[in-house]
Amino acid sequence: MTKGLFITFEGADGCGKTTQMKLIDEYLRGKGFRTLMTREPGAKGLGERVREILLNYDGEVSPACESFLFLADRAQNMDCIIKPAVEKGVIVLCDRHTDSTIAYQGYGRGVNIDELKNLNNIATGGRKPDLTIVFDIDVQTSQARVGEEKDRMESAGVEFFERVRKGYLEIAKREPERVKVVDSMRTIEEIHNEVVELIENAIRRT
């Protein structure tokens, strides 16, 4: 593969993104592909400092400020980590990206979605993921998976997460070519098999 791929993992807290990303990373490496795992917030380097603020700051945070912090980390991740790797033929796996902003700050917190889309475009230079996998799960199950120890974002409440879930499903409806929804109420292995299929299809198209 001379041209790389940019794949994002999306869905509510506790849906299994990180679990599935690690499994597919191992699978792809086993097949001889070069891969790189990154995440938002918290891209390696500067992004880790931004993540610290976003997840642990305990004072008031305005919705716009929260959006800009996520976007700052995203710009850094795209320019310094994702783009250079994809250009070298690497399969980049990114834990959360632009759709998290639309789902959480847009649908969840009520920030204007068209404005967020414009800001996302500025942060990414308009580069969209080649494939986005949304891990869909009901709110009760995901909250149970997250457990008692919640960070600032995870503490937002059931209605907030209902809006986030609806947001992701809306995004998938609008961009069915890019965004694939995976039923994440199943076992880790069943979900992994579907992820393998989706990513192998994407590799074939490249």
Ligand X SMILES: Nc1ncnc2c1ncn2[C@@H]1O[C@H](COP(=O)(O)OP(=O)(O)OP(=O)(O)O)[C@@H](O)[C@H]1O
Interface map 8-37 toward Mg ion (x if CB under 5 A): ----------x-------------------
Among 4, 5, 6, 14, binds ligand X (CB under 6 A): 14
What is each CA distance from 186 to 40, 109, 161, 191, in whole angstroms? 25, 29, 20, 6
The entry of ligand X, Mg ion, none near residue 71 (CB within 5 to 8 angstroms by kind) is none
The entry of ligand X, Mg ion, none near residue 188 (CB within 5 to 8 angstroms by kind) is ligand X
Among 19, 69, 109, 156, binds ligand X (CB under 6 A): 19
13 binds ligand X (CB under 6 A): yes
The one-letter amino acid at 93: L
- CB-CB contact of 184 with 16 (8 Å): yes
The one-letter amino acid at 102: I
Question: Count residues contacting ligand X (CB under 6 A)?
Answer: 14
Interface map 146-185 toward ligand X (x if CB under 6 A): x-------------------------------------x-
Q: Which is nearer to ligand X, 118 or 155 (CB)?
A: 155
54 binds ligand X (CB under 6 A): no
Q: Which is nearer to Mg ion, 18 or 141 (CB)?
A: 18
Q: Which is nearer to ligand X, 79 or 138 (CB)?
A: 138
- CB-CB contact of 171 with 134 (8 Å): yes
Q: Give the shortest CB-17-to-Mg ion separation in angstroms.
A: 5
The entry of Mg ion, ligand X, none near residue 136 (CB within 5 to 8 angstroms by kind) is none
Interface positions with ligand X (CB under 6 A): 11, 13-19, 145-146, 184, 187-188, 191
